[in-house]
Every structure is written in structure tokens, then in C-alpha cells.
Amino acid sequence: MFKVSVLLDNDKILKEGKYDIRAIYYNVEKAYTDRGFIRDYDTPEGAMMFYGVNGWADNRGMMNASYFLRKQDWFMRYVRKWTGYENEQCKYKDTFGVVDILNSIKWADSVAGVI
């Protein structure tokens, strides 16, 4: 199973007033649900949690959604935490490998000289 959580900086979105906060949340949710993920719940800190139901086949949807969001003008500006979870390779199905997607992208961009 693949899961992903996205935590946005609501205060920054509202303070800047450049984008409609409802539109941002709608587009984040749509990025994952259009690719077969289900919005499960929001964490206590306010992160949206999505999960796939197709095992390894969800890897492609997760990567496509991540690529789509990363390319939006507003997303990288307002995302505070972006975490991926995967248990397809784990011995126990209640155990997940965790990837900090946000820091991985920032690291890759710095290596590539994008930042």
C-alpha cells in the first residue's frame, strides 16, 4: 500500500492572499484522487492523508501526483510537510517505509542547481 500526507502552511496562504485556500486544498486532493487515491482522514496537525488500494500499481499514481503538484506555482511555496509511506516491501503489513518527499525534492533541486 502507498500512502501520502500533505501538510500546507495555512497561515502563509491566508497572509499572502495570493491564492484561494479552498482552491489549493481542492487541487491537492484532486491530484491524488484523480490518480486512484482515496482521501482517508486529516491528521491532528492538519495534514491530508491519502492512500492507494492497488498495491504496486499505486506507485505510478503517487509519482504522477507528486510531479504534478511540484510543478504548480503555489504548491512548493505553501507545503510544510510532504511524506510518502510504502509497505509493499515490508515483511509486516502494518509497517511502512517513510520518505520525506519535500526534503528529497529540495535536495535533488540543490544538487541539480535548480535552487
Could you report the per-residue pLDDT of 12-44, keeping only the tens digit for each?
Answer: 999 999 999 999 999 999 999 999 999 988 899
Encode pLDDT of 46-77 as tens digits: 999 999 988 888 888 888 999 999 999 999 99
CA distance linking residue 17 with residue 110, whole number of Å? 28
CA distance linking residue 88 with residue 14, whole number of Å? 38
At 59 the pLDDT is: 83
CA distance linking residue 55 with residue 45, whole number of Å? 27
φ, ψ for residue 100, nearest 5 deg:
-85, 95
